[in-house]
Structure 1
Amino acid sequence: MFNRKYIDKLTTEMEKREVDAMIITPSTDLEFLMGFSPHMDERFQGLFYLKDRRYFYIVPKLNEEEIGKAIGKDAAIYAWDDGEGYLGQVKKAFEDFDLMHKKIAVNGSTRAISMLDIQGIVEVNFINGNEILEEIRIIKDEEETEYLRKAAKLADEVYEDIVKFIRPGIQEKDIKDKIEELFMEKGGDGLSFNPIIASGPNSSKPHYNEYARYIQEKDVIILDFGCTYKGLCSDMSRTVFVGGISDEERKVYEIIYQANKAGEKAAKEGVAAESVDKVSRDVIKNAGYGEYFLNRLGHGIGYSVHEAPDIKGGNERILEKGMAFSIEPGIYMPGKFGMRIEDIVCITENGSEVLNKASKEIIIV
């Protein structure tokens, strides 16, 4: 049932941090540990994993059958129905497994209101367990890195096709739908996130997601998309131009391109994450656009599209072989336009490997 490599790492991290148990509610965290994650709704459920390797699952009765199949018939399952609520089963499980007054870590998908309700009936010390779960999967092995490469290659291929599809008169939603269609045709498991299609004035909003505007001549369009392949994610951004490019747009694009290249060159084993951010950020700052670079330079990627390590100021974490993350400098000027170039890189013993191979030259459609 469990991914043995990761459950061993989880146990080690819990012992190191003197954590008695870990709550993992439906999420990518649960899927990569257990190989399955049910649909998440307002009903509380989750895996409780103890540092002595015992475990149990609290589940709504409507999910009991699928959880029983996933977790195994010998596992302790505490099922509850909507009429009785989950707190009685939580209290019983805590008593059965001697979790009263213990330190329990919770993952990022666990709802705060659930934890508050549980604290109302049992005496426990809840702590943030997100760092524990990030730590156990921050280093990718060769197989996982190969899946990241494959996911990135699919994104590259989709980009090559989607630029041929874009034209004035179609809607942002049409581009989004076509991207999803292309990933399915090429063998992706699914989208790693909802694509960002930010055209014209919408391009200055880094995470715009309305898909409502119609493409016009002289638009700047940010395309940000990715897929999953065997559980691993891709994520890339390119900026394209419709019918032409102005002198100012060309200047800004070249600055971002240089910042992207500088960050990728700086990313290597033994370097602090914050220093990579600084190298790229300085390119944009020295060009006079520092106030318009609004975000961290990058985020880790793997089983989730956003995980550790963050490539940002203040993160002193030293990069190690097997870490994978984005390099995505951008400039976003409200009322005018925005641009972003994003690749995924993986730290190797020889520096870094840029997984995305799609062209970063100016493309006018």
Structure 2
Amino acid sequence: MTSRLTRAREQMTSRGVSTMLITPGADLRYLTGYHAKPLERLTCLVLPVEGEPTLVVPALERAAAEAAGVEVAVATWGETDDPFALVTSLVADGAIAVDNQMWAARVLELQRRMPHSEVMLAGPVIEALRMRKEPAEIEALRQAGAAIDRVHARMGEWLRVGRTEREVGADIARAIVEEGHVQVDFVIVGSGPNGSSPHHEVSDRVIGAGEPVVVDIGGTTPAGYCSDSTRNYVIGGGAPSDYLDAYAALEAAQAAQREHARPGVTAESVDAVGRELLTEAGYGDLFIHRTGHGIGQETHEEPYIVSGNDLVLEPGMAFSIEPGCYAEGRWGARIEDIAVCTDDGLEVLNQRPRELVVL
């Protein structure tokens, strides 16, 4: 973790930040390895651009912080102490950057205590580090991808006519843990018309014969990295002909995006390649969301694969490629893989068949 702190300081210097304040969340876990609980008691990493970093924690959380193997000094505060006084005593003069997820009450209190300091977001500093994955992080994402692939491979155990989405979702959730995750992050089972809502989760709707079903699932592995993959199923065949036509176009679009994505191209160009193909096929209006999102210690993080993002992709950047088509009130389809840029191409981390699976 020391190298990450060093690189964070380099980013701070380039952006004119004197001190960074990071509270519990993925940023703190990334910089220190400590997966702190988001309690009402203040935990905060104080990282000055020069001098020693300090992790401020409640006294009752010291053991947990030390067990995480943090490589910075740990300063504790007692139950009746003022933690903000302790934090501000460690802050260097100049601009202060706070993590993007810091609670508003804490941001406002810090501003009150330091009225002459400029307060800005730390997101740009840390995002520049987190979206370029280290080799160990890429291997963790490979393992996460393989684990969620194993869940999709078992879909025939649970996805049957006459069962509800909720019943199927409960089985999937158990399997996500069985196949190597420590946490279920989300389970989407969208059958028939429910599939036309991209963020539908589960309901008591009974799955019928010939209905398309969107299954989008993900979890967090013991290493702290996330999986996310979407595949499409139909039970017993007989899917609507308009759905099958759209699905063929969607397969082609996603394949083109996988072929295009690599270091040196922009994030928005990956989106454009698939969107143009779907538009030419007559389905552009049905593709209602961005192509993808970065992934790592959070399911959604930088870089975002979306129109307007002219970020040039670099080796180590990991993201989803997930175009979709949604016919409101009838059906939906989405094909999603996690991929990572290599030195000269793209490694796709999900290997389950992308064609419509008939069970």
Q: Same fold (TM over 0.5)?
A: yes
Between the aligned partners of 1:189 and 1:221, the Cα distance in structure 2 is 26
Question: CA offsets per residue over residues 154-182 of structure 1, 9 Å max, x none?
Answer: 11111010233201222222222222322
User: What residue is the counterpart of 1:214 in the other structure?
Assistant: 206
User: What residue is the counterpart of 2:265 in the other structure?
Assistant: 271
Instruction: Give the SS at the match of 1:308.
Output: strand
Partner residue of 1:204 out of 188, 196, 200: 196
User: What residue is the counterpart of 1:250 in the other structure?
Assistant: 244
Instruction: Output aligned runs, 1:1-16, within 5 Å.
Output: 3-16=1-14
Q: Is the 8 A contact 2:2 2:71 kept in 1?
A: no
Question: CA offsets per residue over residues 109-152 of structure 1, 9 Å max, x none?
Answer: 21123212322232232211112212112222333222222211
| C-alpha deviation, 1:318, in angstroms | 0.8
| C-alpha deviation, 1:93, in angstroms | 3.1
Output the TM-score relative to the length of structure 2.
0.91
| C-alpha deviation, 1:210, in angstroms | 4.3
Q: Is the 8 A contact 1:64 1:79 kept in 2?
A: no
User: What residue is the counterpart of 2:157 in the other structure?
Assistant: 164
Identity rate, percent = 33
Partner residue of 1:332 out of 326, 343, 346: 326
Shift of the 9–364 alpha-carbon distance from structure 1 to 2, 3 Å rule, reads: same
User: What residue is the counterpart of 1:110 in the other structure?
Assistant: 102
Shift of the 80–196 alpha-carbon distance from structure 1 to 2, 3 Å rule, reads: farther
Partner residue of 2:297 out of 303, 306, 317: 303
Question: CA offsets per residue over residues 164-204 of structure 1, 9 Å max, x none?
Answer: 3201222222222222322332333333x212222222211
Shift of the 35–354 alpha-carbon distance from structure 1 to 2, 3 Å rule, reads: same
1:24 matches 2:9: no
| C-alpha deviation, 1:9, in angstroms | 1.3
Between the aligned partners of 1:329 and 1:74, the Cα distance in structure 2 is 43
| C-alpha deviation, 1:238, in angstroms | 0.8
Between the aligned partners of 2:9 and 2:348, the Cα distance in structure 1 is 33
Partner residue of 2:85 out of 91, 109, 119: 91
Question: CA offsets per residue over residues 233-255 of structure 1, 9 Å max, x none?
Answer: 22110111233211011011111
User: What residue is the counterpart of 2:75 in the other structure?
Assistant: 77
User: What residue is the counterpart of 1:231 in the other structure?
Assistant: 224
Shift of the 63–207 alpha-carbon distance from structure 1 to 2, 3 Å rule, reads: same
Q: Is the 8 A contact 2:20 2:46 kept in 1?
A: yes
**RMSD of Structure 2 on Structure 1 (CA):** 2.2
Shift of the 113–179 alpha-carbon distance from structure 1 to 2, 3 Å rule, reads: same
The unaligned stretches of length 5 or more in structure 2 are none
User: What residue is the counterpart of 1:241 in the other structure?
Assistant: 234
Q: Is the 8 A contact 1:91 1:122 kept in 2?
A: no
Between the aligned partners of 1:51 and 1:315, the Cα distance in structure 2 is 29
The unaligned stretches of length 5 or more in structure 1 are none
Partner residue of 1:144 out of 120, 137, 145: 137
